[in-house]
Structures are given as structure tokens and as C-alpha cells.
Chain A
Amino acid sequence: MSSIDNRQSSIGNEHGVQMPSVLILGANAGIGRALAAEFASHQYDLILAGRDLEELQALAADLNLRHKVSARAARVDVLEFEALEPALAACIAPAGDSLEGAVLCTGYLGDPEMARKDLNEARRILDTNFTGSVLALNILANHFEQKRKGFICALSSVAGDRGRQSNYLYGSAKGGLTTYLQGLRNRLYHSGVHVITVKPGFVDTRMVFGKAKLPLVASPGTVARDIYHAVKSKKDLIYVPWFWRVIMGALCLIPDGQFKKLKM
């Protein structure tokens, strides 16, 4: 079931000017939150969608107070496949034409060890990162295609570039998402809708906190800034931070025969 916080609606600021708005799906996540703040700081109204409505409402209140934009919370769970279409429709309807684009920040790293034995955990990783995400993107794609404008941005991962033993379930789901986004970009180009794929490396969020010492961990704020600029300058694919493009480029050159021997 979805519900909408009706207390705020993006009917414009005090001058009656319609502010552009953005949907962030997965706004409670580390990157999602930072991205919401980034868009708000550029005077975008926000639709914050996710599973934990109370958290989203607190986030909306915070962004309204800090940046004087209109932020609304809406409950959308990408794992609730049946309810996904009405939930998304309901949360973007009030924004009407001001909706400039959508960013998908849903992701679930999960416990790869547990997932080897526990099929439910395995399904959760696959469904959140691939099926649920793709279904949500499908629905949003139809919306923007009809409007013949807008952008769709989705967070994939460098893990999707090469399957490696420590997180291949997550990586393969993200890899699939990347391929889907390539196709979507191709389809939507002809309607003037732009699709941006973002591949973050290690980012300082719950996925990374407390795990063994990882190198090159980026802050969610830095990642959010890079994503915002990519959206505004209509990039197709970015790695954040940029150097992951080089790292993954090198990693992908290693032949399977050698790669299978590594312990990554």
C-alpha cells in the first residue's frame, strides 16, 4: 500500500513560480539522502519515496526547513511488485508537469555468505537490485516517454562490471541493471528523454560502514554532487568518483582464466 503525505504539495513557491521537482526513489539510503539534499540546495522540490515513511517525513521536514523547498514523502516499496504501478503513479501525480526527472537509489548489498544457503536472502538481493528496480524504471519510463521530456537516473555499481567472488549476486543484479539502462537509453532517446547510469565505487554508507578496511571510500555528499552535475549536463554514464572508470577498465581486461584465481 502506498500513502502520500498530503501536507506539502508542489504548487509553487511564494511567488507562485512552479519549481522543478524530482522524484528520488530510495531517499532514505545514504546516497539517496545526500542526493535529495543536493537537489534541494539547487531549489528543486522533491518527492521522497521509500519504504520507511516516518524517516522520509523527517527528511522532508528537514529539507523544507533548510532549503525552503517543498519536499513530500511517499511510501513506495520496489519489492511490492503488484502495488508498484499505483504507488508510483500516486506519488508523481501531484507534481504534474513540474516533474523534471527521477533518480533510482534503491540498493541492497545483503549478506553474500548468508545468500549462498538462504534463498530468501538471495532473492532479496536480486529482486531489490534488479527486478524491483527495473519494474520501477519501466513504469517511470512510460510516464516520461509520454511527456516526451525529462530524465531517468539510476544507481548501478562498479560491482556490475565484473563478477567477483565477494559479491557476485549483488554484482550480477547491478550488471543486469546496467544493461537494462543501456536499452532504456536507446529506446527513450527517440522521445527526448535522457537516461543516466551512475556507477559508484565504495561510498561511506551502511553498505560499507564497519566492513573490513576499504580503500578509496567516497562520501555520499561528493557522490551526490557528481550525480547532480551528470544529470544537468546530460551524461550517459558516469563512474563516481571518476577514477573507478580506470580501475574497472583495468579489472575488466584480466582474462577469466586469471581472474578466477584471484581472491577479491
Chain B
Amino acid sequence: MQPGYATQSLSGWGRYPVESCHLFRPEKRSEVAATLASGLQPSYIPRGLGRSYGDAALNENAGVIWPILLNRFLSFDGASGVLECESGVSLAEIIQYFLPRGWFLPVTPGTKFVTVGGAIAADIHGKNHHKDGSFSNFVVDFRLLAPTGEVLLCSPAAHPEIFWATVGGMGLTGIVMSARLRLRRVDSAYVFVDYYKAANLEDALATMEASDQRYEYSVAWIDALATGNTMGRSVLMRGNHAPAAELPARLRNPQSRIANAPPVPIHPQWNLFLDFPSGTLNRLTVKAFNTAYYAVHRTVPRQLVGLEKFFYPLDAINQWNRMYGKRGFVQYQIALPQASGRAGLRTILDRLARSGRASFLAVLKRFGDAGPGLLSFPLRGYTLALDIPVAHGLIPFLHELDRMTLDHGGRIYLAKDAVLRAEDFAAMYPQLESFRAIQRKLDPERLFSSSLARRLKIV
């Protein structure tokens, strides 16, 4: 029987754009290959939990393969921490079942509702890139279902060119069916966090550079509306996993410290069922929020914070993206190289503050060395992530920021992008041609494509 599909309006997490796609939901591995061979759609793209913000997991009027039911754990080596699982497994599930056994994700993004397949496709990074690099550093290997129907076992040693094209390749090389990940041991479900209130950008950057190497995890929340001397004022949150022996007595019971830790919920706890009116998060409300948020934090060392709260503060509110209203928002994230980073950040934050476009979530991190992924986003320097509501004149404004980023030798994160232009993209990713060559060899019939891929002229 031919695979069934549902024609649906799909969007990314930013709810912009929204496109009609033909969604396939395979229940068995054989159905994935059967779908690709079915001829039912002109092209396909895989989709995970839909946390990319723009059109990376959209394929307008064509096929989207959603292997969300291929989410089984296959094996686990309790000595090495290597977990083999299907690509539909979410990071949330890995935490749910393995944190109680003392294992955590070696790299985690700001949400745990991301599939393993998605994590590989975007080569995600976390608050520890400056020390540990991106997700792919902990991928031992994966099985890729190539567009031709072949299944290839790929690793840095076996088919390395396909491995590094797939990592960060936004699903365009085929479908990752399963992967082996190296989890990391943790001693407890807590982190010790040092909070530091930085008066402005210079203070934040100097502090991060001076002492980041002491911390496994480092991130700064920035008040993106502050101007003048206070531009870039921020709260730095930097931490390390808490060893069991250093936990307060009440938490130190060896049986309880992992198992009875504050639960890391597998499902978001609250639902925002309604869209807030568009404009709820506008300049005034965001200014008020930012001012309060900055004020309420203090410079304090060694705060004991649960993993959930430290890594996934926003996951608690399901569909928090609804706070921006129906019009949605774009998430804008850039990486700037070390040399020009300070100047670049200053220029961009200044431009943002003067524009009055209210971003209430502005996050700054430092990046370590770039990995070998051909289209992988991180490069040594800084990364700034902003979300900006969709409003009149937004797209030309973002293109202006793109130019500024490019002028400083930086680039845009595809997992968050919705508006980048193809020529700017090509200038930002010098390995694009190498990627295209490998992608074409894997996909001679042009079976894999996405709205993002066409917009950026990747395929």
C-alpha cells in the first residue's frame, strides 16, 4: 500500500513562514525508504520536533517526512555511555531515562524537545561550546538513508565526507535513521552557577574572556534595549555540574541525588492555548521586563540550580512562542569571529537598540573552534541570539544586520534563519561548494529539498 500523507500547514517555531506541506509519518523503518521510492512527491525533507525557527523543516507543496514514531532506544553501553537510538528519539527522552542512571547529554541546546536527527542536522551547540564543541563531537556514527535508498554507516572514519556534510547539513543529504551518541557521566542533577551582573558589553566580554575557562557552561542574557553607557548590560550565568559530595546534606543521599532530583519534565508543563494579542511583547512591555529582569539579579556565586531550570528555562511553557502573537517572530542568531567580535557585537546591539525593535530574549555565548561540518554554524568567537517580533520593515532591517554580520566576517545560524538571502549565505559559508558536490553525488535525482534549501540556493 502507498504511504498515506496529510496535507497540513506547517511552520517552524517562529511561526513564520507558514507553508502547506504534505506530511508523511512512517511507522516502520521500511516505510521511510518506501516513501522516498513512492514517487508521491517531487521532493522530501525530514522534520523532527519542529524547533527550528524558519523554513528548514518545511517543503512547500512537497513532501515532509516526519519519523517521530521511529523513536526507539536500541542499545546502551553502561561503561562507555554510548547510546544507540533511532533518530526520532528526543533529547528529553534521553534525559528522562538516562539521567536517573547518572548520564546526561554532552551538548544540549536551550530546549530538550529536539530529536537526535534534528540535533545532527543542525549540528547544535549549547552553553559549553567554548570547551566541548558542538553535538557532532559526541556522535560516534550514524546510519544514513541516502536519497538513492542505500543505508550508509557514516562516521569521521567511515565515509567522513558524508558524515561532515550531514552534520549541519539541514537534512539535505538523506535521512538519519539511527545514531550512536556518547553520553557524559554526571554526579548529580544540579549545577553550581555563578551569577555576575555586568554593567555593559565591555564588562561582560572582559569577564567572560578572563574566566570562562573555569566554567563548563557559560552564557549571558543581554538587555538588548539598553543604550549608551549601559549598552549590552547583562547577567552572566556560568556553571559546572555539582559533584555529589558538594551537595547540601539534604540532597546527598546517594540513592536520591539523581533519582529524586527535581524532575526534568518530558512534556512541557503549561500550555499557552491562546495567542497573546499581537503587540503584547512590544517595546514598552519588553523594556519593563528587561529592566526588572536585570534589576532582580544579583552577583552571587555558587547557586545550586537544577538541570531543568539551568538548561531549559523556557521549556516549561509549552508554545511560549505564542506570547508573540499570531504574527510570530524571527529568531536571529549570528556567530562573529574572535578578532572582529567586539566591534561587531557593539555595532549590531547598537543598531538593534536604536531601532526600537524589542527583543526580550538576547543571549550571548562564546564559541570555541569550528568543527569540520561543512555547513556547521559555530566558529571561534562569539554568538548572539535575538528574537525579534515580525513587524513592518523587519525583513529589510534583518538584511541590514546580515550585511553588518558579513562585514565583520560572521554568519547566520540556519536552524534559526527565515530571511537570509542566497548571496549573503554563500559569502558566509565558504564550504558551500564542497557541500553541494557531496550532496549532488548522494542525491542525483534531486529527491531532497526544503524551502530553506531553495531560498538559499543550496540545492
Q: How far is the CA of A62 from the CA of B76 in the complex (A)?
A: 10
Q: Assuming A62-B73, A66-B97, A111-B1, is B29 touching A209 (CB within 8 A)?
A: no
Q: Assuming A58-B86, A111-B1, A206-B4, is B28 touching A28 (CB within 8 A)?
A: yes
Closest 9 CB pairs of A and B: A210-B4, A62-B72, A210-B6, A65-B73, A62-B73, A210-B5, A58-B72, A55-B28, A61-B74
Q: How far is the CA of A211 from the CA of B1 in the complex (A)?
A: 14
Q: Assuming A111-B1, A206-B4, is B29 touching A54 (CB within 8 A)?
A: yes
Q: How far is the CA of A61 from the CA of B165 in the complex (A)?
A: 30
A-contact 0/1 string along B254-272, CB 8 Å cutoff: 0000000000000000000
B80 interfacial contact with A, CB 8 Å: no
25 A-B pairs whose Cβ atoms sit less than 8 Å apart in the complex = A28-B28, A30-B27, A54-B29, A55-B28, A55-B29, A55-B30, A58-B29, A58-B72, A58-B74, A58-B86, A61-B72, A61-B73, A61-B75, A62-B72, A65-B73, A65-B74, A66-B97, A111-B1, A206-B4, A209-B4, A209-B6, A209-B25, A210-B4, A210-B6, A210-B23
Beyond A52-B28, A206-B4: 6 further Cβ-contacts under 8 Å?
A: A55-B30, A59-B72, A62-B74, A65-B75, A209-B4, A211-B4
Chain B residues lying within 8 Å of A58, measured Cβ to Cβ, are: 29, 72, 74, 86
Q: How far is the CA of A30 from the CA of B31 in the complex (A)?
A: 14
When C-beta atoms are compared, the residue in chain B nearest to A204 turns out to be B25
Does the CB pair B97–A28 fall under 8 Å? no
A205 interfacial contact with B, CB 8 Å: yes
Chain B residues lying within 8 Å of A110, measured Cβ to Cβ, are: 1
When C-beta atoms are compared, the residue in chain B nearest to A60 turns out to be B72
Chain A residues lying within 8 Å of B6, measured Cβ to Cβ, are: 209-210
Chain B residues lying within 8 Å of A59, measured Cβ to Cβ, are: 72
When C-beta atoms are compared, the residue in chain B nearest to A59 turns out to be B72
How distant is A36 from chain B, measured CB to nearest CB, in Å? 11
Does the CB pair A52–B30 fall under 8 Å? yes
When C-beta atoms are compared, the residue in chain B nearest to A208 turns out to be B4
Chain B residues lying within 8 Å of A55, measured Cβ to Cβ, are: 28-30
Chain B residues lying within 8 Å of A206, measured Cβ to Cβ, are: 4, 25, 27
Which positions 46-68 of chain A face chain B at CB distance < 8 Å? 52, 54-55, 58-59, 61-62, 65-66
Interface-central residue, A28, A54, A111, A206, by most chain B CB under 10 Å: A206
Chain A residues lying within 8 Å of B23, measured Cβ to Cβ, are: 210
Chain A residues lying within 8 Å of B29, measured Cβ to Cβ, are: 54-55, 58
Q: Chain A interface: which size bin?
A: 10 to 19
Does the CB pair A205–B27 fall under 8 Å? yes
Q: How far is the CA of A206 from the CA of B27 in the complex (A)?
A: 7
Q: How far is the CA of A52 from the CA of B26 in the complex (A)?
A: 14
Contacts from A to B (Cβ < 8 Å): 28, 30, 52, 54-55, 58-59, 61-62, 65-66, 110-111, 205-206, 209-211
How distant is A147 from chain B, measured CB to nearest CB, in Å? 32
When C-beta atoms are compared, the residue in chain A nearest to B7 turns out to be A210
Does the CB pair B97–A65 fall under 8 Å? yes
Does the CB pair A66–B27 fall under 8 Å? no
Q: How far is the CA of A210 from the CA of B72 in the complex (A)?
A: 23
Q: How far is the CA of A10 from the CA of B76 in the complex (A)?
A: 20
Chain B residues lying within 8 Å of A28, measured Cβ to Cβ, are: 27-28
When C-beta atoms are compared, the residue in chain A nearest to B84 turns out to be A61
Q: How far is the CA of A86 from the CA of B79 in the complex (A)?
A: 40
Q: How far is the CA of A211 from the CA of B8 in the complex (A)?
A: 12
When C-beta atoms are compared, the residue in chain A nearest to B28 turns out to be A55
Does the CB pair B73–A66 fall under 8 Å? yes
A-contact 0/1 string along B79-117, CB 8 Å cutoff: 000000010000000000100000000000000000000
Q: How far is the CA of A55 from the CA of B178 in the complex (A)?
A: 13
Chain A residues lying within 8 Å of B86, measured Cβ to Cβ, are: 58
Chain A residues lying within 8 Å of B30, measured Cβ to Cβ, are: 52, 55
When C-beta atoms are compared, the residue in chain A nearest to B83 turns out to be A65
A-contact 0/1 string along B14-30, CB 8 Å cutoff: 00000000010101111
Which positions 46-88 of chain B face chain A at CB distance < 8 Å? 72-76, 86
Q: How far is the CA of A66 from the CA of B73 in the complex (A)?
A: 8
Chain B residues lying within 8 Å of A54, measured Cβ to Cβ, are: 29
Q: How far is the CA of A174 from the CA of B29 in the complex (A)?
A: 28
Chain A residues lying within 8 Å of B25, measured Cβ to Cβ, are: 206, 209-210
**Contact residue among B1, B4, B5, B76 (Cβ-Cβ distance under 8 Å from A65):** B76
Q: How far is the CA of A55 from the CA of B29 in the complex (A)?
A: 7
Q: How far is the CA of A55 from the CA of B72 in the complex (A)?
A: 10
Q: How far is the CA of A111 from the CA of B74 in the complex (A)?
A: 33
Q: How far is the CA of A211 from the CA of B28 in the complex (A)?
A: 19
When C-beta atoms are compared, the residue in chain B nearest to A61 turns out to be B74
How distant is B31 from chain A, measured CB to nearest CB, in Å? 9
Q: How far is the CA of A58 from the CA of B23 in the complex (A)?
A: 24
A-contact 0/1 string along B103-139, CB 8 Å cutoff: 0000000000000000000000000000000000000
Q: How far is the CA of A30 from the CA of B4 in the complex (A)?
A: 14
Q: How far is the CA of A111 from the CA of B3 in the complex (A)?
A: 12
Q: How far is the CA of A131 from the CA of B197 in the complex (A)?
A: 72
Q: How far is the CA of A216 from the CA of B97 in the complex (A)?
A: 31
Chain A residues lying within 8 Å of B97, measured Cβ to Cβ, are: 65-66
How distant is A34 from chain B, measured CB to nearest CB, in Å? 10
Chain A residues lying within 8 Å of B27, measured Cβ to Cβ, are: 28, 30, 205-206
When C-beta atoms are compared, the residue in chain A nearest to B178 turns out to be A58
Chain B residues lying within 8 Å of A209, measured Cβ to Cβ, are: 4-6, 25
When C-beta atoms are compared, the residue in chain B nearest to A220 turns out to be B69
How distant is B288 from chain A, measured CB to nearest CB, in Å? 40
Chain B residues lying within 8 Å of A61, measured Cβ to Cβ, are: 72-75
Chain B residues lying within 8 Å of A210, measured Cβ to Cβ, are: 4-6, 23, 25
Interface-central residue, B4, B72, B73, by most chain A CB under 10 Å: B72
Q: How far is the CA of A59 from the CA of B86 in the complex (A)?
A: 11
Q: How far is the CA of A210 from the CA of B21 in the complex (A)?
A: 12
Q: How far is the CA of A62 from the CA of B71 in the complex (A)?
A: 9
How distant is A215 from chain B, measured CB to nearest CB, in Å? 15
When C-beta atoms are compared, the residue in chain A nearest to B1 turns out to be A111
Q: How far is the CA of A30 from the CA of B69 in the complex (A)?
A: 9
Chain A residues lying within 8 Å of B1, measured Cβ to Cβ, are: 110-111
